[in-house]
Amino acid sequence: MSFLPFTRPAIDEETITGVAEVLRSGWITSGPQVKAFEAALSKLCGGRPVRALNSGTAALEIGLELAGVGAGDEVITTPLSWVATANVIVQAGARPVFVDVDPATRNIDLAKMEAAIGPRTKALLPVYLAGLPVDLDRLYSIAASRKLRVLEDAAQAFGSSWRGTAIGARGDLVAFSFHANKNITTAEGGAIVLPSESDVAPCEKLRLQGVTRSGEDGMEVDVAGGKFNLTDVAARIGLGQLPRLAEFTAKRRALARRYFARFDRSLGCGLPPEDFENSNWHMFQVVLPERFPRAQFIARMREAGIGVGVHYPAIHLFALYRRLGFREGQFPNAERIGRAIATLPLFPAMESADVDRVCDAAAKILSKAHA
Ligand SMILES: *Cc1c(COP(=O)(O)O)cnc(C)c1O
């Protein structure tokens, strides 16, 4: 039986042909493909302005800058995310203020988030782990009443929605990632959804060295922008992916349903919330029983030909964040989940028989632990 990875991108032949055409065209960096990709993304985001970038991290960095986050500011976020979420806050010279997650959703606990708002708080940075959004109505009512900016880390939530509205189609700043493992990919890439047309010019400046066309020689630079533009090669991959978004999401949901039907609940694992309305099912993650070492589970699953991922260890326990003053015991839910969470295989090319195989292998490995 062939090895089943925890994820695998689905690039079709039409996309590969299209990429070859871009490569032969003579224009391979940012150009017409990027423009077309941005227009297609904007359409999916309710017509709001969207700019393509070379990573989701770039979208978070530019988002913080557009939100006016700088030295001395605090940004409230979750410790249970990819480390990029917190690193961008540190990079901006601001201080990450972590609050614990809700153990049911594994996302930032909005009541704790509200309680953590202080005089230095500038922005809220929620993460939609595994594609499950937080309660956006509540999030934005808190942000509005406390006059705070919101930067949504929707890196994993492209194709998710909140009560019928696509993530990105409402709200403040929204960051997406198109990394190879995400639901839609450009190999590496990302995008930012902007709240207003007036953010477009500042965003474009930050994207490419601060250059504008306003100067006397047709070029001016007034901010030290970065190098965050997407290539046409990558954008063409994205254009091949977008028409398949609905199909990918439907397939992921069907596979997740199969997991709920087949996963043995007597094993003592924590399962994700059964959300088939909002989540794009970026991942299917179980929290292993405390007594079972995760490394052993991953090794035994690998022996059975199945890849298992770890997303993610709690950020505040990394050396950098300990140096910033964080310590063990501050966010017990994130710490416990971060130690025991395991990402099971879930990607559009999988079949329900693959899910059954994963469930059978997990049951065999975890039930032996009882003996
Ligand atoms: C993938 C990811 C990012 C970063 O995206 P890149 O494209 O890898 O830079 C940020 N936050 C979360 C939650 C992610 O999953």
Whether residue 231 contacts residue 173, with contact meaning beta carbons closer than 8 Å, is answered with no
CA of 315 to the centre of ligand 1 (A): 14
CATH class of 13-243: alpha beta
Give the start-to-end residue ranges of the domains of the chain: 13-243, 246-370
> Among 38, 84, 10, 54, which Cα is nearest to 189's?
54
At 120-132, the pLDDT tens digits run 999 999 999 999 9
CATH number, domain 246-370, options 3.90.1150.10, 3.40.50.720, 2.60.40.10, 3.75.10.10? 3.90.1150.10
Active site residue: 35, 43, 112, 182, which one? 182
Instruction: Identify whether 205 is a catalytic site residue.
Output: no
Identify the pLDDT of residue 371: 44
Calpha distance 310→308 (Å, rounded): 7
Q: pTM value?
A: 0.97
At 249-303, the pLDDT tens digits run 999 999 999 999 999 999 999 999 999 999 999 999 999 999 999 999 999 999 9
DSSP secondary structure letter of residue 273: P
CA of 176 to the centre of ligand 1 (A): 8
| DSSP string for 301-348 | HHHTTB--B-----GGGSHHHHHTT--TTSSHHHHHHHHHEEEEP--T
Say which amino acid occupies 328: E
The count of C-alpha atoms lying within 13 angstroms of the C-alpha of 104, restricted to the half-sphere facing its C-beta, is 6
In three-state form (DSSP H/G/I as H, E/B as E, the rest C), the secondary structure along 27-58 is CCCCCHHHHHHHHHHHHHCCCCCEEEECCHHH
CA of 263 to the centre of ligand 1 (A): 28
CA of 313 to the centre of ligand 1 (A): 15
Whether residue 322 contacts residue 86, with contact meaning beta carbons closer than 8 Å, is answered with no
Give the atom of ligand 1 at the shortest distance from the alpha carbon of 182.
Answer: 1
DSSP secondary structure letter of residue 184: S
Q: Which of 62-76, 85-99, 206-220, 290-304 has the lowest mean pLDDT?
A: 206-220
- Ligand 1 first shell, C-beta below 6 A: 55-57, 81-82, 84-85, 127, 153, 155-156, 177, 179, 190
> Among 247, 256, 304, which Cα is nearest to 284's?
256
Give the atom of ligand 1 at the shortest distance from the alpha carbon of 156.
Answer: 15
At 131-170, the pLDDT tens digits run 999 999 999 999 999 999 999 999 999 999 999 999 999 9
Using CA positions, which residue lies closest to atom 6 of ligand 1? 56
At 309-362, the pLDDT tens digits run 999 999 999 999 999 999 999 999 999 999 999 999 999 999 999 999 999 999
Name beta bridge partners: 341: 287
Q: What is the mean pLDDT of residues 45-70?
A: 98
